[in-house]
Chains A and B, each alone.
Chain A
Amino acid sequence: MIDEISDNNRQFFFDVFAKTFIFFERPFVQSQVLSIVIVLALVFGLSKLIQYLIKPGKFLSKLLKINSKLARIIKYLISPILGLIFINILTSFMSSRLVTIGLIREAKVLIFLFLCYRLLISLMYLFFPGKKTNYYHNRFFVPLFWSIIVIDICNRFIDLNKLSSLILGKIFDNTITFGALIESLLTLYLWIYFLSGLQDLFYFILTRNNNPKGIIIASLMLIRYFLIGLGILISLTNLGLNSTTIAAISGGLSIGVGFGSKEIIGNFISGIVLLFEGALKPGDIINFDQEMTQVKKLGVRSTTVITANNVEKIIPNQTFLTSSVITYTGSDPVIRLLLPIGVGYESDPEKVIQILLEIAQENSQVLEQPQPSVFLISFGESSINFELAVWLDDPIIRKRVASELNIAIWQAFKHHDIQIPFPQRDIHIHTNNSL
């Protein structure tokens, strides 16, 4: 049976090869393909040249004063525009010389499609954040566009119905065909990224009115995962698997998940809880592993935080539910910064307090309300110890503000001749006269 299947498949591909050979032996096909190749080569060369010339500092860029955004749009659109111009010239040139120019006309349609696709991408780059656009461009639009092109071209040379019906093998007595496999994989892949894009779009729309982000993210994510699950189910059905087989596979997977992926499921559920609870949200400042970090992305399985050193940490969601986490921005991002200061015993405490308050009030990052305050804490061994308490609305700037305040204090104390004592040690060196 398997031998028969592989023989049929081999025969099919052998026939495809032979058919292609037959077509390319025809003068009408040769002349059309040659013309299209010439046009594409010219378009490729010219567009590369133009792309080079519009680079910052290059000839055309200076001449036409092209900025980087415009340069990017030109880069995307130049080849399809040139392609359309050249292919139109070729069509009018060849229509009077060849009876058959169907392939050239077909190429024209494909180039037009290419232009539409590039136009869409350019508009996306214009109106949406570059990083997100780039992500969906590479992951969704490129595979979608090229799938359409490849299917269209193949359709001209290959009997796609026959190709689709080629049997690849059997799973639990269910016949898997080539068409069903490709269709299921491709549509599932595109479906996943389409849903991701849709989620981002809805997030963008729904969060404009200061709605609770955590609940929105969680809801959108749950809907997305549900739809992905539905997509997987439809793909498996499309693949030719019946309900019994799907039940058997999911049963097996459940056991596998139970034993092997316990942690993943735990993290997944923790992620959903975190999102709905709203305990953490992107942008929150938390203390993790004795380090102040900012939450960058709240995923269903893990949370990504970024440290002051711009290092990303991926933390499993369960961590946040099973251990205590300090958040500086839970319900209120305002935090208090305490600076200990010691002055000599000859200094006037009232004056010191006044200077410290003035310094705190002068710093633009320090909040006016709650007001900064200074406390005389203790009388130390060699200094009178004060504590300056100021309030900040962004925990991330804590270190920078502390540094600014310390510098200002040092300069003010120097100006007012206030000593900052430091521990002094007298070292007595005994010399041995007998030596």
Chain B
Amino acid sequence: MDFYSFCISGNCLTRKTLLIFISMLKKILKNFVLILVFLLSSCAKSETNITDKLNQKLLIWHSFIGNDAQIFNELLTSYQTLYPQIQIINEYVNNDQITNKFIEDSKLGLGPDLALVEFSSLIDLSKHKSILELQPNDINLTRYLPITLNQIYLKNKIYAIPFSIKVRVLCYNKNHIKQPAKSLSELVEQAKQGRVVGMTSSYINTLWGVGNFGGRFFNDKGHLYLSERAWSQWMNWLKIVNSESTIILSEDKELLRKAFIDHKIDYYTCESTEISALKVHLSEEELGVTFLPKGKQNVASPIIYTQTIVFNYVSSPKQQKLALDLSNFLTNTENQQLWAIQTESQIPANVNVKIDRRLSEIEYILYQQSKHGVAIPLDLIINMKPDDFAKQDYFYNRVLFGEMSPMNAAAQINKIHKLVQTNNNQE
């Protein structure tokens, strides 16, 4: 037997076989080392300053469409003009998918460096550790509208930068309406005269009317609390107008929007961000925007939704720094002013922006309406489940169809708020 042999149960590896194994192992190791060296060298490159200066790339996701997307691209282009070494790739992702896609991709180490999402997405994004927690020195908080700051904090941590806000206003057809209704009674009066009013109908989408009856949304402790009396009065008003053939309450926003575009309805309680889409179909002479109708003594209180900028947790430190720099650029006074005036549908989050009525009537209305808006702090809805929203809608609809008294429904809704608050406190 060969002295190189290695035997098990009488079966031996011969010297020749051993030599083949060794040569095979050598080949594998050689290839493996080459791959390792290649990958390590690519890792090392990211740390070099030369690469930093020459090649900087950022990936952005947003949900803007039409004119808004074009203006947003122009803002990015102006940033690239200032910093030509930076390449920005911006991608449109549908608003309904952006949060889940962000979470899924960041789990893989992928996804954008920076994304524009609605404030409510921060709950899920932070839960999945998809977004970066910002440090106080990363962001100049004095630059933003105070109401927007409520919607970027989560358990005393900052997760985003406010970019713009969305609010509900009253859109009308200028061809049919010469003098838009300023109050609820004027609206009803015009409806009786044949003007058709389309109102998006759901608990959240009709909360703006609570302010008209002097209602509030928070108690003295700052917890979510629906003014039962004001909401009841508002619901009674809705129940009455619902019987009018010219006032349409519908949950289907798309349907109402289409009817408005097709000149079938004269008034539509639209969201500010819908104005871009409406402008595609309606000319300046046709589309009018005004404040939501006020009550006898009080004004409407639409809910405010902040559009925020978030940063990917898995981005490299260099990319995160760059993304923060870009977000500061996007939210500076000059760009926010430009963003607001040119889109005429986005309300700037920057506190220093001044909107002149002479420059843009629509934008002025949006901006002024937002001042009466109610921003629900993120911390208060962190434990709100989809079921809770569904229950609120259930009570709202039962009241609307006369199956439940408004006071009783308001009490039930406040019970939900209380339960959510208890969960918040426990955490």
A residues with CB within 8 A of B = 15, 18-19, 21-30, 32-34, 37-38, 41, 44-45, 48-49, 52, 58-59, 62-63, 99-100, 102-103, 106, 156-157, 159
B28 touches A48 (CB 8 A): yes
- Residues on B with C-beta less than 8 A from A33 are 39
Q: Which of B335-393 contact A (CB under 8 A)?
A: none
Can you name 30 A-B pairs with beta carbons within 8 Å?
A15-B89, A18-B57, A18-B87, A19-B89, A25-B316, A26-B316, A26-B319, A27-B43, A29-B110, A29-B314, A30-B39, A30-B42, A32-B109, A34-B36, A34-B39, A38-B32, A41-B31, A45-B28, A49-B21, A52-B21, A59-B12, A59-B17, A63-B8, A100-B106, A102-B109, A102-B110, A103-B109, A156-B105, A156-B110, A157-B110
Do B59 and A19 have beta carbons less than 8 Å apart? yes
C-alpha spacing A13/B17, complex, angstroms:
49
Task: Chain B residues near A21: list those with CB within 8 A.
Answer: 55, 57
Contact of A52 with B109 in the complex, beta carbons under 8 Å: no
Q: Are B89 and A18 in contact (CB under 8 A)?
A: yes
Among A28, A99, A103, the most chain B Cβ lie within 10 Å of the Cβ of A28
Main secondary structure, interface of A, reads: helix
Does B325 count as interface, using CB distance less than 8 angstroms?
A: no
- Contact between chains at A25 and B39 (CB < 8 Å): no
In the complex, the chain B residue whose C-beta lies closest to that of A58 is B17
Q: A37-B39, A63-B9 are in contact. Are A26 and B109 (CB under 8 A)?
A: yes
- A41 near B59 with CB under 8 A, answer no
Given contacts A22-B89, A25-B57, A52-B21, 7 further A-B contacts (CB under 8 A): A28-B109, A34-B36, A34-B39, A34-B40, A41-B31, A49-B24, A100-B106
Which residue of A is nearest B130, CB measured? A100
Which of A32, A62, A102, A106: most chain B CB closer than 10 A? A102
Q: Is B231 an interface residue (CB 8 A)?
A: no
Binary CB contact string for chain B from 14 to 32 against chain A (1 if under 8 A, 0 otherwise)? 0001001100110010011
Interface centre among B87, B105, B110, B318 (most CB of A within 10 A): B110
Q: Which of B89, B108, B316 has the most CB of A within 10 A?
A: B108
Contacts of B12 in A (CB 8 A): 59
B28, B57, B87, B91: the one contacting A41 at CB < 8 Å is B28
CA distance A63 to B87 in the complex (A): 61
Interface residues of chain B, those whose CB is within 8 Å of chain A, are 8-9, 11-13, 17, 20-21, 24-25, 28, 31-32, 35-36, 39-40, 42-43, 46, 55, 57-59, 87, 89, 91, 104-110, 113, 129, 313-316, 318-319
Complexed CA–CA distance, A33 and B314 (Å): 14
Contacts of A59 in B (CB 8 A): 11-13, 17
Contacts of A106 in B (CB 8 A): 108
A164 to B91, CA, bound (A): 15
CB distance from A118 to the nearest CB of B (A): 21
| Residues in B neighbouring A27, C-beta threshold 8 A | 43, 46, 316
Residues of B within 8 A of A99 (CB): 129, 313-314
Docked CA distance A99–B132 (Å): 13
Question: What residues of B have a CB within 8 angstroms of the CB of A62 in the complex?
Answer: 11
* Contact status B314-A52, CB under 8 Å: no
Known: A29-B109, A41-B31. A24 touches B42 (CB 8 A): yes
A32 to B196 alpha-carbon distance, docked (Å):
59
A102 touches B108 (CB 8 A): yes
Chain A residues with Cβ under 8 A from B42's Cβ?
24, 30
Instruction: State A79–B25 Cα separation when bound (angstroms).
Output: 16
Look across to chain B and name the residue whose beta carbon is closest to the beta carbon of A27: B316
User: Complex: how many Å from CA A44 to CA B107?
Assistant: 27
Tell me, in angstroms, the Cα distance from A100 to B106 when the chains sit together: 8
Q: How far is the CA of A224 from the CA of B40 in the complex (A)?
A: 53
Give the residue of A23, A38, A44, A63 whose beta carbon is less than 8 angstroms from that of B11. Answer: A63
Residues of B within 8 A of A18 (CB): 57, 87, 89
Q: Is the CB of B35 within 8 A of A41?
A: yes
Residues of B near A29 (CB, < 8 A) are 109-110, 314
Whole-angstrom distance between the alpha carbons of A435 and B96 in the complex?
A: 124
Q: Contact at B25–A45, with CB atoms within 8 Å?
A: yes
| A100 and B107 contact, CB distance less than 8 A | yes
With both chains docked as a complex, state the minimum distance between the C-beta of B43 and any C-beta of chain A, in angstroms: 5
Assess whether A100 is in contact with B315, with CB atoms less than 8 Å apart. no
Chain A positions within 8 Å of B9 at CB level = 63
CA distance A32 to B39 in the complex (A): 11
Asked, given contacts A30-B39, A52-B20, A103-B109, whether A22 binds B31 with beta carbons under 8 Å apart, the answer is no
A59-B17, A100-B108, A156-B108 are contacts. A26–B31 as well, Cβ < 8 Å?
A: no
User: Taking the nearest CB of chain B, how far is it from the CB of A67, in angstroms?
Assistant: 16
* Chain B residues whose C-beta falls within 8 Å of the C-beta of A102 in the assembled complex: 104, 106-110
CA of A253 to CA of B24 in the docked complex: distance in angstroms? 55
- Bound state CA distance, A424 and B159, in angstroms? 117
7 A-B pairs closest in CB distance: A102-B108, A102-B107, A45-B28, A28-B109, A29-B109, A62-B11, A63-B11
CA distance A74 to B372 in the complex (A): 73
Kindly list chain B residues whose C-beta atoms are within 8 Å of the C-beta of A19: 59, 89
Please name all residues of chain A whose beta carbon is closer than 8 Å to the beta carbon of B87 when the two chains form the complex.
18
Interface pair A44/B110, CB less than 8 Å apart: no
The one of A26, A48, A58, A159 in contact with B314, judged by C-beta atoms closer than 8 angstroms, is A26
Contact of A30 with B43 in the complex, beta carbons under 8 Å = yes
CA gap between A19 and B42 in the complex, in Å: 16
CB-CB < 8 A to B57: which residues of A?
Answer: 18, 21-22, 25
Residues of A within 8 A of B32 (CB): 38, 41, 45
Identify which of B17, B91, B314 contacts A100 (C-beta below 8 A).
B314
Please state if A52 and B24 are interface contacts (CB–CB under 8 Å): yes
User: Are A103 and B108 also in contact (CB < 8 A) when A22-B59, A44-B28 are?
Assistant: yes
